Amino acid sequence: MTTHVKPHDLLKIKTSDFQENTDLPPWADASLKQAPYVVVRRCIHPQGLIGVGIRGVQRGERFALFLPESAVLNVIKPFYLKEEKNWKNHNKTDNFLPINSLKLITPVLNSIGLDWGPTGSSGFQLATGIISLNTNSDLDILIKVDEPLHQKFATELLTSLEHISPSRIDIQLDTPSGGVALKEYITSDTVMVKTENGPLLLPSSRLWY
């Protein structure tokens, strides 16, 4: 199972498989009862376990733990959530600025020929139907980039998306070396890469080699 899950994937889980042996804070226990979903963390996964995080209602409410693979019922990847037909409780999404932004930028992102999808609070709300967004929420986007991305193209893409979107957009590139902020990639020759072993500084030219 661990070879098939990636950071930012949402997992629908059987909470009974681990809650009895895990000391969860009250907010985390309540969150799982409302929506039994966790997000895959970027870390080393021990054999038979998956590193995940539980989301709470407040921004600071995040709880990290390792989950047995047997607890996973379904894997929801960000790329699945770019399709409106896959959203839960569609009527709960229309009044949120990041979701409106997602609808507006979808044609542009669909045209670049790369896998992409919403993550963060937007992805969680679309996947679960549980309201996670607020008036200050950004729209988090993940773009899978297996081959080198020309910086001029990346700059033009970000400019276009920011021009279209009424909400702030936070775009992360999923490269073979790890996760990289698009804005940093186009403005610096050295970037902070999120890896399973922690953050790492790399020349942008080495992300694909």
Provide the residue type at 180 as one letter.
Answer: V
17 included as an active-site residue: no
Catalytic residue among 29, 138, 174, 189: 138
For residue 203, give every residue at least 6 positions away whose Cβ sits within 8 Å of its Cβ, in sequence order, or none: 189, 190, 191
Strands 169-175 and 139-144: parallel
Residue 119 has, within 13 A of its CA and on its CB side, a CA count of 24
140 included as an active-site residue: yes
Catalytic residue among 9, 29, 140, 174: 140
Q: What is the DSSP string of 113-166?
A: TS-EEEEHHHHHHHHH------TT--EEEEEE--S---HHHHHHHHHHHHHH-S
Backbone φ and ψ of 44, nearest 5°: -80, 125
DSSP single-letter state for residue 101:
H
- Measuring CA to CA, which residue among 105, 171, 110, 185 is closest to residue 138? 171
- Known catalytic residues are 138, 140
